[in-house]
Amino acid sequence: MNHYLYTQFYRNKAYIVALLFLFIAGLMAIFTGKKFLERNEDIISKSGTFQKESIERNTRFHKDDLGLVLYYIKFNLVNETPRLAALNIGLRDLNPSIQGVTIRNLEEQRYNSDFYNPANAAAGNFDFSFVVVFLFPLVIVTFCYNLISEEEERGTWKLLAVQSGNLKRLMDHKMMIRLFAITLVYGVLLIIASIWIQIPLNKYYIAFIISGWLYILFWFALCRWIISFRKSSAQNALILLIVWVSINFIIPMSSNILIQKIYPVHESLKAVMEQRDGYHNKWDEAKRPTMEKFYRVYPQYRNFVVEENDKFTWTWYYAMQHMGDLESSASSKQYTEKMLKRNQAASYLGYLLPNLHTQLIESHLAKTDMENHLQYASSLTTFHEEKRLFFYPLIFSGKNTESVDWPGQTIKVFSVSENLQLLSLFLPYLIFISLFIILSQNKYRRLC
């Protein structure tokens, strides 16, 4: 009987075509991820060259005016992109993996590249995670929706009951054959990705592999429960497709609208406007109040005095620039807090929707999620302050460009490593899989 079931499955051309479709889609997604990594690496490489050339050009033409040189030169901070990001691009196509900033005002520079990012945060990519989350379930549904109903509609159900003696074991064996075939395609694609993209087999990649397989197992458990009601093939297919559309589109889109309504994000625009007003207005204001505010923040620079009748000094100019950042800091902080709350709300929703949970945790493992972007933004603030505090004394004391060790001003890299909370990663899958298996067990007892 087992040999017959294997032969029946693998001689079905429709099943082979479906597996081939998954395999080709997976290869295309892996290729997309590889091209993304190559493009990202190329941008980072060119940025390093551009920064070096920019320093050489500006120091050559303005060697006696360090304040003017630093008005133009951008210093780059790279958000480290792991190889695993090729399988889940996440938000990395919206949020740059490298950003250059001058020592002038930060807030305006921060939002120049992703000004409308909050509205686009739900956008997806045709990466490997997309194939697993959206396409694998469709093939699983086509494999499983008629496991019982087909036999009943063909009139062979009673014959199978007599021959097998245990219909439950027979149905489970048919489902295990399909699970093995899907797992085989999933595993082969991951092996190809590992070799082609050279993804290291670390704890993040292992967790990524397990989460994807548990998501596949969830869909088999769901199908097992649905078909145990012994509805017609058309009804089973309709129910499973409605579930697929609901959890992949209707519920997430509705929830996204609700989350945006609860946590509206206007602070990025507000921060930029406040920052611009903050330093533009300083041109028409007295210099002394601006400098006093600056000295309160950085008392170590109080000995660099700016007189009210001074026409222009770089000390006043950079102090005025930073005051613009300080006046918009509240809005910038609110923006970060709201984006964190949005991300947290999506995580809570993911506990109820395995597809969303898979997308969120795989992007988290690949460091392509919103949390990583906000951590990088925080690191950019620290990076910007370090550059300012390094150059301020040189500018304020009237040093020339030869006083700076320019070869040491290279691209810096932000990276983050954290312990994995395996319980929060895998528990939602295990709960749903166990629930559907238990629910279907009661139905399967009455198959005969």
pLDDT tens across 226-278, in order? 999 989 999 999 999 999 999 999 999 999 889 988 888 776 666 666 666 66
Q: Give the pair of three-digit tokens for residue 101.
A: 């900033």
Longest dimension (CA), the chain: 104
Buried b (16+ CB within 10 A) or exposed e, 220-248: bbbbbbbbbeebebeebbebbeebbeebb
Could you tell me how far CA 304 lies from the centroid of its own chain? 45
Residue 69 near residue 45, CB atoms below 8 Å:
no
Q: What is the Cα–Cα distance from 435 to 430, expressed in whole angstroms? A: 8
In this prediction, residues 56-65 reach a mean pLDDT of 91
Per-residue pLDDT band for 8 (boundaries 50, 70, 90) equals confident
Q: What is the Cα–Cα distance from 209 to 205, expressed in whole angstroms? A: 6
Q: Looking at this protein, which amino acid is placed at residue 106?
A: L
Place of tokens 């395996």: 422
Q: Looking at this protein, which amino acid is placed at residue 213?
A: W
Q: What is the Cα–Cα distance from 226 to 236, expressed in whole angstroms? A: 7
Above 80 in pLDDT, residue 120?
A: no
In this prediction, residues 119-138 reach a mean pLDDT of 79
pLDDT tens across 331-373, in order? 888 888 888 999 999 999 999 999 999 999 999 999 999 999 9
Please give the pLDDT value at position 294: 92
Please give the pLDDT value at position 105: 87
Please give the pLDDT value at position 270: 63
In this prediction, residues 185-192 reach a mean pLDDT of 98
Q: What percent of the chain has pLDDT over 90?
A: 66
Please give the pLDDT value at position 312: 85
